Amino acid sequence: MRTREVIEAEAKYLVHTYSRPPFVLERGNGMHLFDTEGNRYLDFVSGIAVNALGYGDYEILETISGQARNLIHTSNLFYTEPQVVLAKMLVERSFADRVFFCNSGAEAVEAALKFARRWGHENFSSPKVRILAMHNSFHGRTYGALSVTGQNKYHKGFEPLLPGVDFAHFNDLDSVKKVLTPQTCAVIVEPLQAEGGVVPAEEEFLRGLRELCDERGMLLIFDEVQFGLARSGELFAYQHYGVEPDILTLAKPLGGGLPLGAVLVREEVAQYIGPGDHASTFGGGPLVCSVGIKVLEKLSDPKFLMRVRENGDYLHDRLRRLQARRSEVKEVRGIGLIAGVDTEFEAKALVEEFRKRGVLVCTAGSNTLRFLPPLIVERRHIDEVVDVFHEILEQT
């Protein structure tokens, strides 16, 4: 199919949940994607924070083909080795005692909410079922995840949502204290609100949440689906802050581009979940977990993490220098290899200008550009993107 045929067929046969730019991606290599017309794009989207190792990583490809020849799927009715190896690796590298595998970020959030409510039911004689979430958060599109997402635009037309959810202001502990009730069993928060505009949590805020949860008998859930797994410069974002949750959700980069989500939990939470309480047909299959093992090995290498920190600092430094020179740039935010830049222009229009110049970036709200490069990015790629940004601002 040629480019135009693909675009026309998409318009005819798919549910219109996405609005996409008019090109068709065909292959990728390292930091670059190529479309069906042979155009090359420097990728600062990473399939929305998924392709941490870029495109065509040799070891990932070898792992996929090797494991695919052996066994792709069994269901969770049976033991498979890659699943337990990956779970052990996640436990050994984190605060957690146990892992539940699923297929996506939203599913990881669903499981986290269910586990928290189960803990609340088992531990308290009076109702302990409410979830406290943050305004401007994003946790996914399934009903539970959507219900704790603090942005009305995603709720519209899908109500009624899950009952028992309250919202407080992000980075505002007083607001949290006002909204908490004796029935609150868990607080869910992103250590960095990514979809909500690339807004990092303040350390004091997360520390305060941890203390409140300990004092008032609530679980702390960190949603690290987008910011976790090395993007912050630490393997887990909570390690950047030095504040440990009780439940942690992961997904995006874990499967190396294949669907894999995980929920990491303390024993205190896991003890109340037994056979039949929660499940997933596909979750944690041997193929995805084999890839997850490779991805995790690579992302937890201290040298890899150091490079993420160095390149993250370089990205933020270059963007701040651009801000100093161009008054159209209002604010630069982020940690590690995620950056959000507010400008006086509509972000969507800027994304289009980048694309015309062979660079893919995305938005995080109407005026915020989001930069999410694969974690293998080098300085020369960052230079190219910031230079293109400068050129766009000069010509707009």
- 129: which DSSP letter? -
CA dist 56 → 29, 50, 256, 308 (Å): 6, 14, 10, 19
Residue whose entry in the numeric block shows the structure tokens 């056979």: 275
Q: Please tell me the distance from the alpha carbon of residue 133 to that of residue 11, in angstroms, as a whole number.
A: 36
Cis peptide preceding 259, ω within 30 of 0: no
Question: Considering only residues 10-49, where is the footprint of ligand PLP by CB under 6 A?
Answer: 48
Q: Which is nearer to ligand PLP, 194 or 212 (CB)?
A: 194
Question: Considering only residues 98-157, where is the footprint of ligand PLP by CB under 6 A?
Answer: 104-106, 109, 138-140
As given in the structure block, the two tokens for residue 362 are 């995305």
Rounded to 10°, the helix 302-325/379-395 angle is: 20
Q: How far from chain centre, in Å, is Cα 144?
A: 17
Question: What is the per-residue binding string for ligand PLP in 244-273, x denoting contact by CB under 6 A?
Answer: -------x----------------------
Q: Which is nearer to ligand PLP, 90 or 194 (CB)?
A: 194
Contact status: 195 vs ligand PLP (CB under 6 A):
yes
Q: Please tell me the distance from the alpha carbon of residue 62 to that of residue 69, in angstroms, as a whole number.
A: 11
Q: Please tell me the distance from the alpha carbon of residue 97 to that of residue 268, in angstroms, as a whole number.
A: 9
Q: According to CB under 6 A, which one of 43, 57, 110, 190 is a site residue for ligand PLP?
A: 190
Stretch of residues binding ligand PLP (CB under 6 A), selected from 87-95, 219-227, 379-387, 388-396: 219-227
As given in the structure block, the two tokens for residue 53 are 């190792």
Q: Which is nearer to ligand PLP, 46 or 94 (CB)?
A: 46
Taking the complex as a whole, how short is the minimal distance between the CB of residue 104 and ligand PLP, in angstroms? 4
Identify the sign of the CA torsion 167, 171, 172, 173.
Answer: positive
As given in the structure block, the two tokens for residue 320 are 């701040």
Percentages helix, strand, coil for the chain, rounded to the nearest 5?
A: 40, 20, 40
Taking the complex as a whole, how short is the minimal distance between the CB of residue 83 and ligand PLP, in angstroms? 19
Spell out the residues 6+ positions from residue 93 whose beta carbon is closer than 8 angstroms to its own: 235, 236, 296, 300
Stretch of residues binding ligand PLP (CB under 6 A), selected from 68-76, 91-99, 158-166, 189-197: 189-197
Cβ count near 113 (within 10 Å): 27
Residue number with the smallest Cβ distance to ligand PLP? 105
Identify the sign of the CA torsion 53, 382, 368, 136.
Answer: positive
Per rule CB under 6 A, count of chain residues that contact ligand PLP: 15
Q: Which is nearer to ligand PLP, 28 or 196 (CB)?
A: 196
Q: Which is nearer to ligand PLP, 322 or 375 (CB)?
A: 375
Q: Which is nearer to ligand PLP, 80 or 149 (CB)?
A: 149
Taking the complex as a whole, how short is the minimal distance between the CB of residue 222 and ligand PLP, in angstroms? 10
As given in the structure block, the two tokens for residue 187 are 């607080």
Q: Which is nearer to ligand PLP, 43 or 190 (CB)?
A: 190
Q: According to CB under 6 A, which one of 184, 226, 300, 343 is a site residue for ligand PLP?
A: 226
Q: Which is nearer to ligand PLP, 192 or 392 (CB)?
A: 192
Contact status: 218 vs ligand PLP (CB under 6 A):
no
Q: Which is nearer to ligand PLP, 292 or 386 (CB)?
A: 292
Instruction: Report which of 294, 301, 256, 289 is spatially closest to residue 53, judged by C-alpha positions.
Output: 256
Q: According to CB under 6 A, which one of 131, 194, 369, 388 is a site residue for ligand PLP?
A: 194
Taking the complex as a whole, how short is the minimal distance between the CB of residue 53 and ligand PLP, in angstroms? 18
- Residues at the contact surface with ligand PLP, assessed by CB under 6 A: 48, 104-106, 109, 138-140, 190, 194-195, 223, 225-226, 251
